Amino acid sequence: MLSRRFALAALPVVALASACASAPSGGRTSSSFAPSSDLPRLRATYDSGFARIARALPSPTVADPTPLRQLRALADFRVQEVGWATLRGDAYIAAESGRRSGGWLVIVPPGNRLLRSIPGFIDMDPGPVHALQIRPAEVTEVWAGLLLVHGLSHLQDVMRGALGPAPTRGQVLQGEVRAYSRMLAAADPVAGGRLRPAIESLIDRWHPSSIAALAERADTLELADVELLNRTLPADTAVSQAEFADRCSFFGVALLIRFAETHPMPLAELLSALDHVAAAGRRDWRQ
Protein backbone atom coordinates (compact mmCIF):
# COMPACT_ATOMS: atom_id res chain seq x y z
CA MET A 1 0.00 0.00 0.00
CA LEU A 2 1.22 3.48 -0.78
CA SER A 3 1.82 5.84 2.09
CA ARG A 4 0.94 9.52 1.92
CA ARG A 5 4.62 10.39 1.71
CA PHE A 6 5.47 11.26 -1.87
CA ALA A 7 9.15 12.30 -1.90
CA LEU A 8 8.55 15.48 -3.85
CA ALA A 9 10.85 17.06 -6.38
CA ALA A 10 14.28 16.46 -4.99
CA LEU A 11 15.66 12.98 -5.41
CA PRO A 12 17.47 12.29 -8.68
CA VAL A 13 14.54 10.88 -10.65
CA VAL A 14 16.45 9.37 -13.50
CA ALA A 15 19.80 7.70 -13.76
CA LEU A 16 21.27 11.01 -14.80
CA ALA A 17 22.29 10.92 -11.14
CA SER A 18 25.66 9.93 -12.64
CA ALA A 19 25.82 13.20 -14.55
CA CYS A 20 24.88 15.11 -11.41
CA ALA A 21 27.39 13.23 -9.29
CA SER A 22 30.20 14.04 -11.71
CA ALA A 23 29.23 17.69 -12.04
CA PRO A 24 31.92 20.27 -11.28
CA SER A 25 31.39 22.00 -7.96
CA GLY A 26 31.99 25.54 -9.15
CA GLY A 27 29.42 27.90 -7.71
CA ARG A 28 27.88 25.27 -5.46
CA THR A 29 28.30 25.35 -1.71
CA SER A 30 29.64 22.37 0.19
CA SER A 31 27.56 22.86 3.33
CA SER A 32 24.27 20.95 3.49
CA PHE A 33 22.10 23.22 5.62
CA ALA A 34 21.63 26.88 6.39
CA PRO A 35 21.95 27.69 10.12
CA SER A 36 18.75 28.02 12.14
CA SER A 37 19.18 31.79 12.28
CA ASP A 38 18.86 31.87 8.47
CA LEU A 39 15.49 30.10 8.27
CA PRO A 40 13.51 33.38 7.97
CA ARG A 41 15.77 34.29 5.04
CA LEU A 42 15.05 30.94 3.40
CA ARG A 43 11.30 31.44 3.89
CA ALA A 44 11.63 34.81 2.18
CA THR A 45 13.53 33.16 -0.69
CA TYR A 46 10.70 30.67 -1.25
CA ASP A 47 8.08 33.44 -1.09
CA SER A 48 9.93 35.74 -3.48
CA GLY A 49 10.61 32.87 -5.88
CA PHE A 50 6.95 31.88 -5.99
CA ALA A 51 5.90 35.51 -6.41
CA ARG A 52 8.38 35.90 -9.27
CA ILE A 53 6.83 32.92 -11.04
CA ALA A 54 3.33 34.33 -10.55
CA ARG A 55 4.41 37.68 -12.06
CA ALA A 56 5.95 35.96 -15.09
CA LEU A 57 2.76 34.12 -16.05
CA PRO A 58 1.14 35.41 -19.26
CA SER A 59 -2.25 37.09 -19.16
CA PRO A 60 -5.11 34.57 -19.14
CA THR A 61 -6.75 33.59 -22.44
CA VAL A 62 -9.44 31.09 -23.36
CA ALA A 63 -6.79 29.06 -25.19
CA ASP A 64 -4.57 28.54 -22.13
CA PRO A 65 -3.46 24.90 -21.69
CA THR A 66 -4.70 23.07 -18.62
CA PRO A 67 -1.38 23.20 -16.66
CA LEU A 68 -1.27 26.98 -17.00
CA ARG A 69 -4.84 27.37 -15.75
CA GLN A 70 -4.07 25.00 -12.89
CA LEU A 71 -0.94 26.97 -12.07
CA ARG A 72 -2.95 30.17 -11.61
CA ALA A 73 -5.34 28.30 -9.33
CA LEU A 74 -2.33 27.01 -7.41
CA ALA A 75 -1.14 30.59 -6.83
CA ASP A 76 -4.55 31.42 -5.35
CA PHE A 77 -4.40 28.26 -3.23
CA ARG A 78 -1.04 29.34 -1.80
CA VAL A 79 -2.28 32.82 -0.87
CA GLN A 80 -5.69 31.84 0.46
CA GLU A 81 -5.17 28.45 2.10
CA VAL A 82 -1.50 27.77 2.88
CA GLY A 83 0.64 29.55 5.45
CA TRP A 84 4.10 29.31 6.98
CA ALA A 85 4.68 27.54 10.26
CA THR A 86 7.68 26.87 12.46
CA LEU A 87 8.50 23.66 14.31
CA ARG A 88 8.79 23.28 18.06
CA GLY A 89 9.85 19.67 18.36
CA ASP A 90 7.22 17.92 16.26
CA ALA A 91 4.58 20.62 16.81
CA TYR A 92 3.61 23.14 14.12
CA ILE A 93 3.38 26.75 15.30
CA ALA A 94 1.79 29.31 12.95
CA ALA A 95 4.32 31.87 11.75
CA GLU A 96 1.66 34.01 10.05
CA SER A 97 -1.58 35.49 11.30
CA GLY A 98 -4.90 34.23 9.98
CA ARG A 99 -6.40 30.75 9.85
CA ARG A 100 -5.27 28.46 7.02
CA SER A 101 -7.56 25.66 5.90
CA GLY A 102 -5.24 24.16 3.28
CA GLY A 103 -2.13 23.40 5.25
CA TRP A 104 1.32 24.59 6.15
CA LEU A 105 4.80 25.16 4.82
CA VAL A 106 7.62 24.58 7.28
CA ILE A 107 11.40 24.66 6.94
CA VAL A 108 12.67 21.92 9.23
CA PRO A 109 15.54 23.34 11.33
CA PRO A 110 18.98 21.70 11.33
CA GLY A 111 19.21 18.98 13.98
CA ASN A 112 15.48 18.22 14.02
CA ARG A 113 14.86 14.49 13.83
CA LEU A 114 12.25 15.00 11.08
CA LEU A 115 15.06 15.70 8.63
CA ARG A 116 15.90 12.00 8.65
CA SER A 117 12.57 11.21 6.98
CA ILE A 118 12.77 13.87 4.22
CA PRO A 119 14.57 12.23 1.28
CA GLY A 120 14.74 15.32 -0.92
CA PHE A 121 14.09 19.07 -0.78
CA ILE A 122 10.39 18.93 0.06
CA ASP A 123 8.14 16.16 1.32
CA MET A 124 4.64 15.74 2.69
CA ASP A 125 4.23 15.20 6.40
CA PRO A 126 3.00 11.57 6.58
CA GLY A 127 0.91 12.32 9.66
CA PRO A 128 -2.52 13.93 10.05
CA VAL A 129 -1.23 17.50 9.56
CA HIS A 130 -1.35 18.76 5.96
CA ALA A 131 2.11 20.24 5.76
CA LEU A 132 5.02 20.43 3.35
CA GLN A 133 8.33 19.91 5.15
CA ILE A 134 11.31 21.65 3.53
CA ARG A 135 14.96 20.82 4.11
CA PRO A 136 16.99 23.91 5.16
CA ALA A 137 19.28 23.61 2.11
CA GLU A 138 20.48 26.66 0.21
CA VAL A 139 18.55 27.27 -3.00
CA THR A 140 18.28 30.00 -5.62
CA GLU A 141 15.16 32.16 -5.65
CA VAL A 142 13.78 30.81 -8.93
CA TRP A 143 14.32 27.19 -7.97
CA ALA A 144 12.71 27.75 -4.57
CA GLY A 145 9.63 29.03 -6.39
CA LEU A 146 9.56 25.99 -8.68
CA LEU A 147 9.95 23.65 -5.70
CA LEU A 148 6.88 25.27 -4.15
CA VAL A 149 4.92 24.79 -7.38
CA HIS A 150 5.66 21.06 -7.24
CA GLY A 151 5.04 20.65 -3.52
CA LEU A 152 1.87 22.76 -3.46
CA SER A 153 0.50 20.72 -6.35
CA HIS A 154 0.70 17.59 -4.18
CA LEU A 155 -0.71 19.40 -1.16
CA GLN A 156 -3.62 20.67 -3.23
CA ASP A 157 -4.25 17.15 -4.55
CA VAL A 158 -4.55 15.87 -0.99
CA MET A 159 -6.77 18.74 0.13
CA ARG A 160 -9.05 18.41 -2.91
CA GLY A 161 -9.35 14.64 -2.58
CA ALA A 162 -7.41 13.75 -5.75
CA LEU A 163 -5.10 11.60 -3.62
CA GLY A 164 -6.43 9.72 -0.63
CA PRO A 165 -4.48 8.11 2.21
CA ALA A 166 -3.86 4.92 0.19
CA PRO A 167 -3.57 5.88 -3.51
CA THR A 168 -2.70 3.34 -6.17
CA ARG A 169 0.60 3.50 -8.00
CA GLY A 170 -1.22 4.89 -11.03
CA GLN A 171 -2.80 7.67 -8.95
CA VAL A 172 0.59 8.62 -7.51
CA LEU A 173 2.10 8.79 -11.00
CA GLN A 174 -0.81 10.91 -12.23
CA GLY A 175 -0.15 13.26 -9.32
CA GLU A 176 3.47 13.53 -10.44
CA VAL A 177 2.35 14.29 -14.01
CA ARG A 178 0.19 17.12 -12.67
CA ALA A 179 2.99 18.46 -10.48
CA TYR A 180 5.68 18.33 -13.16
CA SER A 181 3.36 19.74 -15.84
CA ARG A 182 2.66 22.73 -13.61
CA MET A 183 6.35 23.04 -12.82
CA LEU A 184 7.17 23.17 -16.55
CA ALA A 185 4.33 25.64 -17.12
CA ALA A 186 5.91 27.82 -14.41
CA ALA A 187 9.53 27.41 -15.48
CA ASP A 188 9.14 28.37 -19.14
CA PRO A 189 7.71 31.90 -18.61
CA VAL A 190 10.25 32.68 -15.89
CA ALA A 191 12.92 31.48 -18.36
CA GLY A 192 11.66 33.98 -20.92
CA GLY A 193 10.17 31.23 -23.07
CA ARG A 194 13.56 29.61 -23.66
CA LEU A 195 13.15 26.36 -21.73
CA ARG A 196 10.60 24.55 -23.89
CA PRO A 197 12.56 25.23 -27.13
CA ALA A 198 15.74 23.97 -25.45
CA ILE A 199 13.94 20.79 -24.36
CA GLU A 200 12.58 20.36 -27.88
CA SER A 201 16.07 20.78 -29.34
CA LEU A 202 17.25 17.77 -27.33
CA ILE A 203 14.25 15.72 -28.41
CA ASP A 204 14.82 16.69 -32.05
CA ARG A 205 18.50 15.79 -31.80
CA TRP A 206 17.76 12.35 -30.31
CA HIS A 207 14.70 11.74 -32.52
CA PRO A 208 13.18 9.05 -30.25
CA SER A 209 10.69 6.71 -31.87
CA SER A 210 8.43 6.73 -28.80
CA ILE A 211 8.16 8.10 -25.28
CA ALA A 212 9.49 4.76 -24.04
CA ALA A 213 12.61 5.28 -26.16
CA LEU A 214 12.94 8.82 -24.80
CA ALA A 215 12.72 7.48 -21.24
CA GLU A 216 15.63 5.15 -22.03
CA ARG A 217 17.61 8.10 -23.42
CA ALA A 218 16.83 10.22 -20.37
CA ASP A 219 18.56 7.58 -18.26
CA THR A 220 21.85 8.68 -19.83
CA LEU A 221 21.28 12.43 -19.92
CA GLU A 222 24.72 13.98 -20.08
CA LEU A 223 26.05 16.88 -18.06
CA ALA A 224 26.23 19.03 -21.19
CA ASP A 225 22.49 18.46 -21.75
CA VAL A 226 21.71 19.47 -18.17
CA GLU A 227 23.79 22.62 -18.52
CA LEU A 228 22.07 23.49 -21.82
CA LEU A 229 18.73 23.51 -20.02
CA ASN A 230 20.17 25.22 -16.94
CA ARG A 231 21.33 28.16 -19.06
CA THR A 232 17.76 29.03 -19.97
CA LEU A 233 16.96 29.90 -16.33
CA PRO A 234 17.58 33.33 -14.76
CA ALA A 235 19.86 31.74 -12.15
CA ASP A 236 21.75 29.20 -14.22
CA THR A 237 24.06 28.05 -11.42
CA ALA A 238 22.71 26.06 -8.51
CA VAL A 239 23.95 27.17 -5.09
CA SER A 240 24.07 23.68 -3.60
CA GLN A 241 24.66 20.17 -4.86
CA ALA A 242 21.16 19.30 -3.66
CA GLU A 243 19.69 21.98 -5.91
CA PHE A 244 21.76 20.82 -8.87
CA ALA A 245 20.56 17.23 -8.42
CA ASP A 246 16.98 18.47 -8.20
CA ARG A 247 17.38 20.39 -11.46
CA CYS A 248 18.61 17.16 -13.08
CA SER A 249 15.51 15.41 -11.81
CA PHE A 250 13.17 18.02 -13.21
CA PHE A 251 14.84 18.18 -16.62
CA GLY A 252 14.64 14.41 -17.01
CA VAL A 253 10.89 14.38 -16.37
CA ALA A 254 10.30 17.63 -18.31
CA LEU A 255 11.59 15.86 -21.44
CA LEU A 256 8.82 13.29 -21.07
CA ILE A 257 6.16 15.89 -20.28
CA ARG A 258 7.07 18.00 -23.31
CA PHE A 259 7.17 14.95 -25.60
CA ALA A 260 3.68 14.01 -24.42
CA GLU A 261 2.47 17.58 -25.01
CA THR A 262 3.65 17.53 -28.63
CA HIS A 263 2.92 13.85 -29.41
CA PRO A 264 -0.64 12.98 -28.30
CA MET A 265 -0.74 9.57 -26.67
CA PRO A 266 -2.73 7.54 -24.14
CA LEU A 267 -2.05 8.62 -20.58
CA ALA A 268 -0.91 5.09 -19.79
CA GLU A 269 2.11 5.49 -22.09
CA LEU A 270 3.26 8.62 -20.26
CA LEU A 271 2.72 6.98 -16.87
CA SER A 272 4.72 3.93 -17.97
CA ALA A 273 7.63 6.14 -19.12
CA LEU A 274 7.50 8.08 -15.86
CA ASP A 275 7.47 4.85 -13.90
CA HIS A 276 10.57 3.75 -15.82
CA VAL A 277 12.61 6.84 -14.95
CA ALA A 278 11.38 6.66 -11.36
CA ALA A 279 12.68 3.10 -11.09
CA ALA A 280 15.93 3.95 -12.88
CA GLY A 281 16.63 6.77 -10.45
CA ARG A 282 15.26 4.87 -7.43
CA ARG A 283 12.75 7.69 -6.92
CA ASP A 284 11.02 7.36 -3.55
CA TRP A 285 7.40 7.46 -4.74
CA ARG A 286 6.79 4.91 -2.04
CA GLN A 287 4.65 1.86 -2.39
How confident is the model over 184-200, as pLDDT tens digits?
A: 999 999 999 999 999 99
Q: Which long-range contacts (CB under 8 A, 24 or more apart) does 66-72 make?
A: 66/181, 67/178, 67/181, 67/182, 67/184, 67/185, 68/185, 70/153, 70/178, 70/181, 70/182, 70/185, 71/149, 71/182, 71/185, 71/186
Is the whole model's pTM more than 0.85, yes or no?
yes
Please, which residues bridge with residue 131 across strands? Answer: 104
- pLDDT at position 287 over 80: no
Q: Are strands 122-124 and 103-107 parallel, antiparallel or unpaired?
A: unpaired
Residue-wise pLDDT tens digits, 31-77 = 456 667 788 999 999 999 999 999 998 888 888 888 889 899 999 99
Task: Kindly state the percentage of the chain with pLDDT values over 90.
Answer: 47
Domain boundaries, the chain: 17-280
CA distance 9 to 146: 9
CA distance 134 to 155: 13
Residue 107 DSSP class: E
CA distance 269 to 273: 6
